[in-house]
Amino acid sequence: MIIYIVISFFLENIVGLLINKSMIIPLFFLLALLLSYQVKNIAYDKYLLYMVLLGFLYDIIYTNIYINSLLFLGIGSLNVLYNKYINNSFIMNFIFTILFLIMYEVLYYFIYIMLGLNNFNLFVLGKSILAILPINIIYYLISKLYLSKYGRWFMPELPEVRTVKNALKKQIVGRTIKNILYRYDGIIRSDKNEFKDILIGKTFTDVDNFGKWLYLKLDDYTILSHLRMEGKYYIKPSTEEYEKHEHIIFNLDDGSDLRYKDVRKFGIMYLVKTKDISSVNEIAKLGIEPDKDLTKEYIYNKIHNSNKTIKELLLDQTIINGFGNIYVDEVLFASHILPTRLGNTITIDECERIKVEGSRIIKKATECLGTTIRSYTSSLGVEGTYQKYLKVHTRANQKCLTCGELVLKTRVGGRGTYFCPKCQK
């Protein structure tokens, strides 16, 4: 990535010097690129957001023409909203961004003319428009290369968490904690000292889960662990060197470590008494797991008065506990329901289909050890294969396996959503 940044910086500065005779614009685009990379999210809407905010500041500081600053902020915000919530096709995002920048350059230029600061010169306007293209083309290519190599982030869902649970159960039950090392203690949400004092000397007796929460049980205490976006557990020899993002290290009595690694540091751990698990707020508010005691009546009663989309409702963990973006797309496809339908339009019969298909898909995905569509694996020697059975998720612009219509991708509740416009109603 550093090589690509250096190349893009070099090329854009050449263009900037030739066309604008200024280093300001190239540096402005480069900073937006660096910011979007630093937050570990190469998504184009993040780049656009930084570009808009930086452009706003640039116009205020560099031009002192506040109407241009507001113009950039206004048009840029519409562009970000379009790319985030209306369209998620990467090429369309790119094209729309170029159109946004051209619109801004044209309006910017005519404001200068109206203020008497410039005379109309089509050649100058053309050069200004051309100056915006290189860095965006380079960024587009970098992003496509990045996504093709690493894929997009996604949060482990119920089948993936069960896979981690089963793998951990085989490797740590019966092992006693000799020591605990914090390399970043922000993961621990209980008292840090008590966490250590209580757990050292305790033996793992079981590993369980409820939805996306892992329960690491040790006698009368349990560690509640949520992996969030990138949390992973590893079993490694205690003599092996620590990796950069291995934050919590449990030294075990057999000479191995249970290491919690989290690149984004979003994961959390609580220490609670085992008998009190069900009263912990984070657990008590959760709904029913999709393949357990779910009924059509339960689903209907939870959603039939709601103006939210069915996609958002099924992602609500207080309603159904364990569904995530991948499996909700698949369940709605199997149930023949458009993800944009409102909860109050879903019939009791459709709730029955959601129940049946939800249970079937979660059970099958669990048997397949989950879905691996980017860097996610259980990190404990197993890898999911349910991606082979995906009908719509990640299949944008490919033919529907049922009817042959092209699968579409849109945004619902801010989440990338895949569906077949013919099979789903």
Catalytic positions are: 156-157, 212, 415
What amino acid occupies position 69?
S
Tell me the C-alpha distance between 270 and 57, whole Å: 42
Q: Report whether 29 contacts 51 (CB < 8 A).
A: yes
- Per-residue DSSP letters for 77-97? HHHHHIIIII---HHHHHHHH
Residues with Cβ within 8 Å of 38's Cβ and at least 6 positions away in sequence, in order, are: none
Q: Report whether 47 contacts 32 (CB < 8 A).
A: yes
Tell me the C-alpha distance between 172 and 260, whole Å: 13
What burial class does residue 18 get, using C-beta atoms within 10 Å of its C-beta: 0-12 exposed, 13-18 middle, 19+ buried? exposed
Q: How many C-beta atoms surround the C-beta of residue 106 within 10 A?
A: 13
Residue for token pair 């996504």: 147
Q: What is the CA radius of gyration of the chain?
A: 26
Long-range CB pairs of 407-414 (<8 Å, 24+ gap) are 409/88, 409/89, 410/86, 410/87, 410/88, 410/339, 410/340, 411/84, 411/85, 411/86, 411/87, 411/88, 412/309, 412/311, 412/312, 412/339, 412/340, 413/308, 413/309, 413/311, 413/312, 413/315, 414/84, 414/85
Give the DSSP letter of residue 407: P
Structure tokens at 44: 């184009």
Tell me the C-alpha distance between 376 and 366, whole Å: 15
Tell me the C-alpha distance between 246 and 30, whole Å: 31
Residues with Cβ within 8 Å of 281's Cβ and at least 6 positions away in sequence, in order, are: none
